[in-house]
């Protein structure tokens, strides 16, 4: 896989990013920098502003403040960052191979035979699905196909909005492993994750949003601390250092 020559420069740089919906600040002055080789989990309860943050960062939503991606032209941005939206739309009965090949759009003419496409299919365990019609797959399988599409875009940064929703445990772990592998290869991933157990185990860094504000940013063990969990999520959790890394199990609601 080819890498964009971005060594040194951050892949994502948000400066005081603010999104207004009416007079409400759904994203409120978030500054965030993501360099190469990071798997950043974006966590926060429903309505914390995760989706708005990601869409504004990409320039898909009107915003104040700065985002390096939003300042690029669409063509340049499409080679710098791939985006997996939350709404899983597949309009037509495309074959899985054709759908994943759409990820090659920013790179000019190339068909389903592109190596990036077969790599993406293989990474998501979809090679045997290549000839199937995407609309005939189950919801979880469709989600994997759409992740493969974003992988095929072959960008230094992947931004994914709840990529794990609707996946079975195997597919969830597989997906998190793929993202962690991307980070190990020097790319970066920013993904909103609701399963804090998976986030604790696989992410290299967590960013916690609460009411549009960034309230914590750091290694999972540091961000997932009882005080923040109670204030932001309203839950109590069992957190332990296992031999396989951090183990996080939500226990009960405390408000």
Across the strands, what pairs with 42? 192, 207
Closest contact distance (angstroms) between CB of 89 and another protein is 4
Q: What is the torsion angle, in degrees rounded to the nearest 10, for the CA atoms of residue 159, residue 160, residue 161 and residue 163?
A: -170
Total residues at interface with another protein (CB under 8 A): 44
Closest contact distance (angstroms) between CB of 157 and another protein is 11
Give the contacts of 254 (CB within 8 A, at least 6 positions apart). 230, 234, 235, 236
Closest contact distance (angstroms) between CB of 140 and another protein is 17
Question: Which C-beta is closer to another protein: that of 32 or that of 160?
Answer: 160
Closest contact distance (angstroms) between CB of 134 and another protein is 9
Q: Are 40 and 159 within 8 A, CB to CB?
A: no
List the Cα angle 126/166/42 in 5-degree steps: 100
Q: Which of residues 71-110 bind another protein (CB under 8 A)?
A: 74-75, 77-79, 81-85, 87, 89-95, 97-99, 102-103, 105-106
Closest contact distance (angstroms) between CB of 81 and another protein is 7
Q: Are strands 12-21 and 24-34 parallel, antiparallel or unpaired?
A: antiparallel
Q: Where are the beta strands (DSSP E) in 151-233?
A: 157-160, 188-192, 205-210, 213-218
Q: Which of residues 118-147 bind another protein (CB under 8 A)?
A: 118, 121, 127-128, 130-131, 133, 146
Q: Are 56 and 28 within 8 A, CB to CB?
A: no
What residues line the site for another protein (CB under 8 A)? 55, 58, 60, 74-75, 77-79, 81-85, 87, 89-95, 97-99, 102-103, 105-106, 111-115, 117-118, 121, 127-128, 130-131, 133, 146, 149, 153
């Amino acid at each position: 896989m080819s890498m964009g020559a971005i060594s040194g420069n951050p892949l994502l740089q948000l400066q005081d990013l603010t999104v207004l919906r009416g007079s409400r600040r759904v994203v409120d002055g978030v500054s965030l920098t993501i360099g190469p080789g990071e798997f950043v989990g974006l966590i926060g309860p429903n309505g914390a502003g995760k989706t708005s943050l990601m869409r504004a960062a990409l320039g898909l939503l009107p915003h104040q403040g700065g985002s390096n991606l939003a300042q690029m032209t669409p063509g340049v941005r499409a080679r710098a960052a791939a985006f997996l939206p939350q709404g899983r739309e597949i309009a037509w009965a495309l074959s899985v191979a054709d759908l994943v090949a759409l990820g090659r759009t920013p790179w000019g003419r190339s068909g389903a035979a592109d190596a990036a496409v077969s790599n993406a299919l293989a990474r998501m365990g979809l090679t045997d699905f290549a000839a199937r019609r995407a609309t005939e797959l189950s919801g979880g399988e469709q989600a994997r196909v759409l992740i493969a599409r974003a992988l095929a875009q072959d960008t230094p940064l992947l931004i994914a909005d709840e990529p794990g929703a609707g996946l079975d445990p195997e597919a969830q772990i597989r997906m998190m492993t793929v993202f962690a592998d991307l980070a190990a290869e020097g790319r970066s991933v920013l993904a909103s994750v609701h399963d804090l157990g998976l986030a604790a185990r696989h992410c290299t860094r967590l960013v916690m949003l609460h009411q549009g504000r960034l309230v914590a940013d750091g290694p999972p063990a540091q961000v997932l601390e009882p005080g923040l969990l109670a204030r932001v999520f309203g839950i109590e959790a069992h957190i332990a250092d296992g031999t396989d890394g951090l183990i996080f199990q939500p226990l009960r609601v405390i408000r």
